[in-house]
Structure 1
């Protein structure tokens, strides 16, 4: 990096911090927050209190710990500033909102929300915390814009344990889809430009989550389990994996769900318009993804959107769910999303928000324009039968 590059990089960072500086009412927490942000962006191996303090030239971690545990500042207000920054730098009318969760493996039982539970990050049951996140993705780039810490019932039903972790009395148990809907509600209320929502089957399999998207005029492509019931009007209901057995060979199209680390992510896809009542001008579909090398490996999606939406666009939206996985990996690797050593509920939100802010700066700096997919979609079928795209 040249001296001019460094000056440009620092000027951009100064502009970002100026947007949030007012959230830290006094000089000391403001200086600490800037040093913390710089440390998260620095080539520090473990971005915890000790190493961030060392990067800032401090003798010990007390100052960084005070920033997370005791100084007065509102992490949700900083989140709002972060969201506005992402919209300014990456916003696009065709943006996609992505919901997913990630695990943070922890020792002991005192960190807010920790218990033995499934971690998709580890792919098994671990002693961990689970955070539910919303990411924003467009042709210009992608970044995390909201977060919630999942609290299992083992926590919300234990007032003493909650008090020890500084969890407010107002916080009650909420399922992950409920938390996701709350985040999407405030995201849309803030005017974030987006037309689509995508999520894995933990959210897509919840009809209330899908209904939320439809009520807010949002298209979606969400994963559902293979056992998902698909209503076919007079024909009754059938499982998604049974329905796909009726697809003719010509229904399968080899298409890319977007570029991955090794090039285009190619799969075979089939698409059926479903005979369900919808708002005028809209349609619902069953989208199926099949491995090219292992034909018995399939993934199923429900989709909803404007009737003229192309097959290729639905495949593209389905593929964009991986963008949040890339955000998690980058934020954990580059900005220490999972490097924290805090137990308090509010401290978790503070570290996570600052790590997201640092990641958003990297995303805005590196924003590029990915290739778009094109395609066409057939005319509407009769309501009484499924119509496969062939």
Structure 2
């Protein structure tokens, strides 16, 4: 390996061994433990569809039976592995200013037998489709982000009150109907009880509109920046009258707006105009308003913190919410989060947990390979290793005979990242209005 190169196959193999050592005790027998290792390696491979059949072929099995048994019948606790995954992500990504993010994503399914499936709306497709919906919790810091918990949403009418359907899908009797914000609150509580240190929670309107979730966070002393609808009514200047959020925004003077970046996107800083207004009776409760500098479109957030904070800090947390969307995209495109072909409650949780663990491993490798934050990058440096790039390079790490020679693989990785760095600089100059010279 070239000196100074951030790709270190020996270290990556060691890190994967550490992942397996962390979860090994969750499998009582050597056979499912070995199959779990093969399953994870398959999720990290370049296999086109990461279902049991193709993962078994990738692993060199003669039939998919062992993979299918791992998800359905083998004796192991997916929630215990989830606990290990959560601790692993924090160990490798922990940094000041950590944010917990809640959101949901849909899994398109045919038929009606898969646990929790029904025709329902999800933002994944922006329309009503035949979906399973999972509610997820992500952990995000400046070092990276990862999905650390999951709940399968069980619709009340079509599933919770149908014993026969529940029995066929293997849904435990103890599982009853819970709203998506309640599922989010359960995951946040579990993370905090496990000792995760996070100062903030953020999420979209589906969660920001729920007063029970906001009260639960305040009771735990955890600050939040939660999106709400423009019709949300707030109390201004401790007055008795409640005023719509969009009405409040319309009354603000020009001097109330400040330009801040909500974080870096693919094409540069995401600059918006921001304003904040003190609401309610508490000293640390605000309505945060974001205005698109081009279209004038507004977005609104209810904010609370146990101590005084700056507008810039609230903007930072609001901008972090998009990290979970990036997690969903990476989990589905890189480690097959939505590639499963299972119907059973247990099988869904097992596949999703292993896919989340594979994603957390990629995030840990990316954080480990990142340049020293105390030494600023030079203008001609390639971009840091990304999760997709690492997943691509793992072909040479775990399957060296099936991949192109390592030197050639590294050459193309360096070329891609240098090209991406050049494109990024061009986008940044255009976004910031700087001269190209």
Tell me whether the two structures share a fold, i.e. TM-score over 0.5.
Answer: yes
Distance in 1, matches of 2:203 and 2:74, equals: 35
Structure 1 residue 234, shift from structure 2 partner: 2.7
Give the structure 1 partner of residue 364 of structure 2: 364
The answer to whether the 8 Å contact 1:49/1:340 transfers is yes
Change in CA separation of 1:370 and 1:291 when aligned onto 2, cut-off 3 Å: farther
Q: Distance in 2 between matches of 1:143 and 1:370?
A: 21
What is the aligned counterpart of 2:189 among 168, 181, 185?
A: 185
Check the 8 A contact 1:195/1:218 in 2, yes or no: yes
Shift of 1:77: 0.2
**RMSD of the alignment, in Å?**
1.7
For 1:80, the equivalent position in structure 2 comes to 83
Which position in structure 2 is the counterpart of 1:15?
Answer: 18
Shift of 1:307: 4.4
Structure 1, unaligned stretches of length 5 or more? 372-390
Residue 6 of structure 1: which of 5, 9, 24 is its match?
9
CA–CA separation in structure 2 for the residues paired with 1:311 and 1:172 = 40
TM-score, normalization: structure 1? 0.91
CA offset digits 1:211-261 (Å, max 9, x no partner): 111000001100001111112333410111111111101111221100011
Counterpart of 1:188 in 2: which secondary structure?
A: helix
Q: Deviations over 1:253-279 (max 9, x none)?
A: 2211000111111111111122x233x
Equivalent-residue separation in structure 1 for 2:174 and 2:302 (angstroms): 35
Match of 1:345 in 2: 345
Q: Which runs of 5+ in 2 are unaligned?
A: 374-437
Question: Partner residue of 2:289?
Answer: 288
Aligned to 1:205: 209
Please tell me whether the aligned partners of residues 139 and 370 of structure 1 are also in contact (alpha carbons under 8 angstroms): no
Alpha-carbon shift at residue 284 of structure 1 (Å): 0.6
What is the CA–CA distance in structure 2 between the aligned matches of 1:256 and 1:156, rounded to whole Å? Answer: 44
SS of aligned partner of 1:108: coil
Whole-Å separation in 2 of the counterparts to 1:166 and 1:306: 42
| Count, aligned residues | 366
Provide the residue aligned with 1:355 in structure 2: 355
Separation in 1 of the partners of 2:371 and 2:151? 29
4+ residue segments displaced more than 6 Å: 1-4
Instruction: Give CA deviations for 1:281-338 in whole Å, capped at 9, x if unaligned.
Output: x50110011111111x211001111443111110010000000000110111111111
Out of 137, 140, 164, the residue aligned to residue 140 of structure 2 is 137
Secondary structure in 2 matching 1:366: helix
Contact 1:223–1:299, Cα closer than 8 Å, also in 2: yes
Partner of 1:118: 121
2:221 and 2:306 in contact (8 A); partners too? no
The whole-number CA distance in structure 1 between the counterparts of 2:193 and 2:174 is: 23
List aligned pairs for 1:31-180, cutoff 5 A: 31-153=34-156, 154-180=158-184
Q: For 2:72 and 2:240, how far apart are their aligned partners in 1?
A: 59
Q: Flag the 1:24–1:307 CA change in 2: closer, same or farther, 3 A.
A: closer
The structural deviation recorded for 1:64 is 0.5
Q: Which aligned pairs between 1:221-300 and structure 2 lie closer than 5 A?
A: 221-232=225-236, 233-274=238-279, 276-278=280-282, 283-295=284-296, 297-300=297-300
In the alignment, the residues of structure 1 paired with residue 159 and residue 112 of structure 2 have an alpha-carbon distance, to the nearest angstrom, of 10
When normalised by structure 2's length, the TM-score is: 0.81
Q: In structure 1, what is the Cα distance between the partners aligned to 2:372 and 2:166?
A: 45
Structure 2 Cα separation of the partners of residues 328 and 302 of structure 1: 25
**Take 1:103 and 1:35, find their aligned partners in 2: how far apart are those partners?**
26
CA distance in 2, matches of 1:346, 1:277: 46
Which digits, 9 at most, give the CA deviation of each residue in 1:148-203, with x for residues without a partner?
00000110110100100000111110000111111111100011011000011101
Q: Distance in 2 between matches of 1:140 and 1:98?
A: 15
Match of 2:239, SS state, is: helix
CA drift of 1:119 comes to: 1.4
- How far apart, in 2, do the equivalents of 1:212 and 1:140 lie? 28
Whole-angstrom distance in 2 between the partners of 1:311 and 1:355: 36
Higher helix share: 2
- What is the rounded CA distance, in whole Å, between the counterparts of 2:298 and 2:222 in structure 1? 26
Contact in 2 for aligned 1:269/1:289 (Cα 8 Å): yes
How far the C-alpha of 1:71 sits from its partner, in A, is 0.5
**What CA distance in whole angstroms lies between the structure 2 residues aligned with 1:229 and 1:106?**
38
